[in-house]
Copies of this chain bind each other. A is one copy, B any other.
Amino acid sequence: MQGGRVLDLETARARVLDAADELFYGRGVQVVGMDELRSASGVSLKRLYQLFPSKGDLVEAYLRRRDARWRAALASYVDTRPAEVRVLAVFDWLYQWFGEDDFRGCGFINCFGELGSTSPVVADVTRTHKEAFQEYLAGLVAASGGSPELAAHLALLAEGAITTAAIAGSPEPARQARAAAILLLGPVLGCDQSVSRMSHRPCVRRRPGSL
């Protein structure tokens, strides 16, 4: 008898999470009240509290869904490229992300700065998200014959590019990180890749469209 209602609950949940993603990511968690979330999602406060018993629960759900989406978007971009360029494709994906209109840095780092010292669950989800990214990158690097240390170095470059791009308001750090990654990959790619030829010329500029 409640078939239609259950579906409604799920679309309500999706709409709330959509609004949370846009508002929490775009303006911060503490500055966005439940009332604004209600009007943005069109879901009544009662339903909202049925779905998420407290704002903290909603924040956690927001972070977990963002983690899944972010990693899926990255993987769907990277995994369709030829195996030899997948590691560098990570930085191409970053460049495209940095250029999006609503880019405002890493939602997890922002949330961690805001609530990490107060909320253990925020700190934990953030840690998990970063570890998952590092492991994904390590898998790509290992598949290219690179060492775990190389993977850690590239992860630091990516991390630095994210925050630098957010603060500077420019996607350029992704290019710089990519150029540095080429240098670090040099010995790895050197065996049979033509990319290695420019490994001693750090200033590699490419047109935005090309990858």
Interfacial residues, chain A to chain B (CB-CB below 8 A):
26-28, 30-31, 104-105, 109-118, 123, 126-127, 130, 147, 149-150, 152-153, 155-161, 163-164, 166-168, 173, 176-177, 179-180, 183-184, 187, 200, 202-203
Contact = CB atoms under 8 A, between A and B. Distances in A.
Contacts of A158: 160
Nearest to A129: B167
Contact of A156 (B111, B130, B164, B187): B164
Given A156-B164, A184-B183, A104 B117 contact: yes
Main secondary structure, interface of A, reads: helix
A149 B184 contact: no
Contacts of A200: 187
11 contacts: A27-B118, A28-B114, A28-B115, A28-B117, A109-B167, A123-B167, A126-B167, A156-B180, A157-B160, A159-B164, A160-B163
Contacts of A167: 109, 112, 116, 123, 126-127, 130
